[in-house]
Amino acid sequence: MNADIAAVFEEIADRLELQGDNPFRIRAYRNAARTLTATTRDVRDILEKTGELPKMPGIGADLAAKIREIVTTGHCALLDRLRHDMPQTVTDLLQIPGLGPRRVRLLYHDLGIASVEQLDRAARDGRIRGLPGFGEKTEQHILDATRAHLNKTRRFLWAEAAPSAQAVCAALAAIAGVGQVTVAGSFRRRRDTVGDLDVLATAAPAQAAAVIDRFTHDHEVAEILSAGDTRASVVLRNGLQVDLRVVAAQSYGAALHYFTGSKAHSIALRRLAQAKGLKINEYGVFRGATRVAGADEASVYASVGLPYIEPELRENTGEIDAARLGRLPHLVDRPDLAGDLHAHTTAGDGSAALRDMALAAQRSGLRYLAIAQRLDAQQLQRQSDDIDRLNAELGGVTLLKGVEVSIRQDGRLDLPDAVLARLDLVVAAVHDDFDLPRQQQTERMLRAMDHPHFTILAHPSGRRIGTRPPMDVDMPRLIRHANQRGCFLELNAQPDRLDLDDTHCRMAKEEGVLVSISADARATTDFSRLDGGIGQARRGWLEAGDVLNTRPLSALRPLLQRTM
């Protein structure tokens, strides 16, 4: 698409400008981007059909070669090089009103400011006013602007956005003339955070405008950003943006595919289609002017000879090749979970009694539950007695004896061996000193895994999305070590943790390390979090066999007995 190529040229221009490059060269890229955007014919189409680029004003041999490079390879070597020189986030600073390239350059070189967050911090700390050409007033303007920018670009946790998604769908479904309603975008791909909700509804073309009108006047809508005949953008009361598109039923699958993304996945699929003489867009799959598919998503994939690809896999990280080779994973699903290996009770920092937690787990379809919380030796003994008593009494759910033990800074576990030896499993985690240097942090966790009673590494990255960055650790090394030691890694399903994250789940799978998906429940209602854990696991290509707690208890027990 011309817009994709134009975006590459715009970014090149931004980056050249930040480097203080020749203004004529910069303008050439900007003009070319504008020309491409204004051109109605698809440059890629023409190039692939005729082997030639159409003549376009202001696009000489050098720029034409770049377009050819982008269309054929999907990359631009110049941009890759420029991206290497300066972090991606520096270019975001150009979006702050009042900051041109000269000022951004100064902020980056003199104060090391490389992102809007850092700029915001520096302005609050009064570090900007001292720079040549900046003063107290400019600093205040910058602070206002960064505040507005950060508000606008705020991302929501998937679990925070879910209730809004449900409410928006219900509101739309209640409008006369609306057929199907689905939330697409990153929400459907189950990313851990979402920038906005992309909602798709079907209606007859004659009714679309009325649907838009009704929806934008819903009482949950705080602000209407735009409203047209088939699309609208609004901000809900909680600050979440919703982009709505109303499409005809015959285009539903194609539109759902387009707006589910990811953009990289869609572009890769479009390229496959082009090779077969087909054109995929948001309205359908076309051969010439004839629609050949598009009513549902499966038909879109079938048109290029592929099986259906689950939304969680659509990140262009190998799923299209896997589909072509018939090697798509059969993704793990919530009913596959047989138990949960990390829960708390009122004996520790939980809010529900042992019995209530066991019954809640059972109601959630689980057949075993390990209590793993931070207790001392004496408390653990009492808990062990309670578990024995309840297991004798309860049917259909089994309690396991665990502990959540801290990994000390030197890698030792915070309880004596003799105490750990009496348990069914030992869940260990780093609970402090999150900012140790990489080498030291990694060694600390490797040494903990060497402990003979170590079973599961909990919250392996230590991240709290939006508040605490992940620890600096060598995750591939931890995963390889877990494989050698026969231990497991946790995917903690708390909505702001979700670590292991998707890429590390995939790495664990490739190394043959089983992942334990746990709710880390402190209340009886917390088991619903397992859905979010499953979402992240699916993004990490995990199948039921890759997940420790899909095993029935009889198969689980031998896995928990470490063979050294």
Q: Residues interacting with Ca ion, by CB under 5 A?
A: 185-186, 196, 198, 243
Q: Which residues pair with 197 in a beta bridge?
A: 242
The CA-based angle 528-195-298, given to 5 degrees, is: 75
Choice between 53 and 267, CB closer to ligand DGT: 267
Q: CB of residue 240 vs ligand DGT: minimum separation in angstroms? A: 10
Q: Output helix, strand, coil percentages for the chain, rounded to the nearest 5.
A: 50, 15, 35
With CB under 5 to 8 Å by kind, the binding choice for 401 among ligand DGT, Ca ion, none is: none
Q: CB of residue 156 vs ligand DGT: minimum separation in angstroms? A: 9
With CB under 5 to 8 Å by kind, the binding choice for 3 among ligand DGT, Ca ion, none is: ligand DGT
Q: CB of residue 267 vs ligand DGT: minimum separation in angstroms? A: 5
Q: CB of residue 482 vs ligand DGT: minimum separation in angstroms? A: 31
Choice between 266 and 383, CB closer to ligand DGT: 266
User: How many Å apart are CA 320 and CA 498, to the nearest integer?
Assistant: 26
Residue whose beta carbon is closest to ligand DGT: 261
Q: Say if residue 209 is exposed, middle or buried (CB neighbours under 10 Å; 0-12, 13-18, 19+).
A: middle
With CB under 5 to 8 Å by kind, the binding choice for 262 among Ca ion, ligand DGT, none is: ligand DGT
User: How many Å apart are CA 247 and CA 232, to the nearest integer?
Assistant: 12
Choice between 232 and 482, CB closer to Ca ion: 232
Q: CB of residue 196 vs ligand DGT: minimum separation in angstroms? A: 5
User: Which contiguous run of DSSP H or E holds residue 261?
Assistant: none
User: How many Å apart are CA 183 and CA 259, to the nearest integer?
Assistant: 9
- 344 close to 361: Cβ distance less than 8 angstroms: no
CB count in 10 Å sphere of residue 542: 27
Choice between 218 and 443, CB closer to Ca ion: 218
User: Which contiguous run of DSSP H or E holds residue 365?
Assistant: none
Q: Which residues pair with 194 in a beta bridge?
A: 156
Q: CB of residue 170 vs Ca ion: minimum separation in angstroms? A: 19
Choice between 108 and 215, CB closer to ligand DGT: 215
- 400 close to 518: Cβ distance less than 8 angstroms: no
Question: Which residues of the shown chain bind ligand DGT in the complex (CB under 6 A)?
Answer: 3, 185-186, 191, 194-196, 198, 258-259, 261-263, 266-267
Segments in 60-152 forming alpha helices (H): 61-73, 77-85, 101-111, 116-124, 136-152
Residue whose beta carbon is closest to Ca ion: 185
Reference 415, options 449, 453, 447; nearest CA is 453
Q: CB of residue 59 vs ligand DGT: minimum separation in angstroms? A: 21
Characterize 82-105 residue by residue with b for buried, 16 or more Cβ atoms within 10 angstroms of its Cβ, and e for exposed.
beeebeeebbbbeebeebebebbb
For residues 339, 341, 343, 347, the Cα torsion angle rounded to the nearest 10 degrees is 110
With CB under 5 to 8 Å by kind, the binding choice for 261 among ligand DGT, Ca ion, none is: ligand DGT
Amino acid identity at 242: V
Choice between 156 and 488, CB closer to ligand DGT: 156
Q: CB of residue 20 vs Ca ion: minimum separation in angstroms? A: 34
Q: CB of residue 294 vs ligand DGT: minimum separation in angstroms? A: 15
With CB under 5 to 8 Å by kind, the binding choice for 263 among ligand DGT, Ca ion, none is: ligand DGT
- 427 close to 342: Cβ distance less than 8 angstroms: yes
Amino acid identity at 428: A
Q: Say if residue 344 is exposed, middle or buried (CB neighbours under 10 Å; 0-12, 13-18, 19+).
A: buried
With CB under 5 to 8 Å by kind, the binding choice for 402 among Ca ion, ligand DGT, none is: none
Choice between 190 and 453, CB closer to ligand DGT: 190
Choice between 284 and 462, CB closer to ligand DGT: 284
Choice between 201 and 548, CB closer to ligand DGT: 201
Reference 515, options 526, 504, 529; nearest CA is 504
Residue 516, preceding bond cis, omega within 30 degrees? no
Reference 285, options 305, 262, 304, 264; nearest CA is 304
Q: CB of residue 180 vs ligand DGT: minimum separation in angstroms? A: 18
With CB under 5 to 8 Å by kind, the binding choice for 120 among Ca ion, ligand DGT, none is: none
With CB under 5 to 8 Å by kind, the binding choice for 79 among Ca ion, ligand DGT, none is: none
With CB under 5 to 8 Å by kind, the binding choice for 387 among Ca ion, ligand DGT, none is: none
With CB under 5 to 8 Å by kind, the binding choice for 61 among Ca ion, ligand DGT, none is: none
Choice between 159 and 427, CB closer to ligand DGT: 159
With CB under 5 to 8 Å by kind, the binding choice for 481 among ligand DGT, Ca ion, none is: none
Choice between 103 and 189, CB closer to ligand DGT: 189
Q: CB of residue 39 vs ligand DGT: minimum separation in angstroms? A: 16
User: How many Å apart are CA 516 and CA 281, to the nearest integer?
Assistant: 40
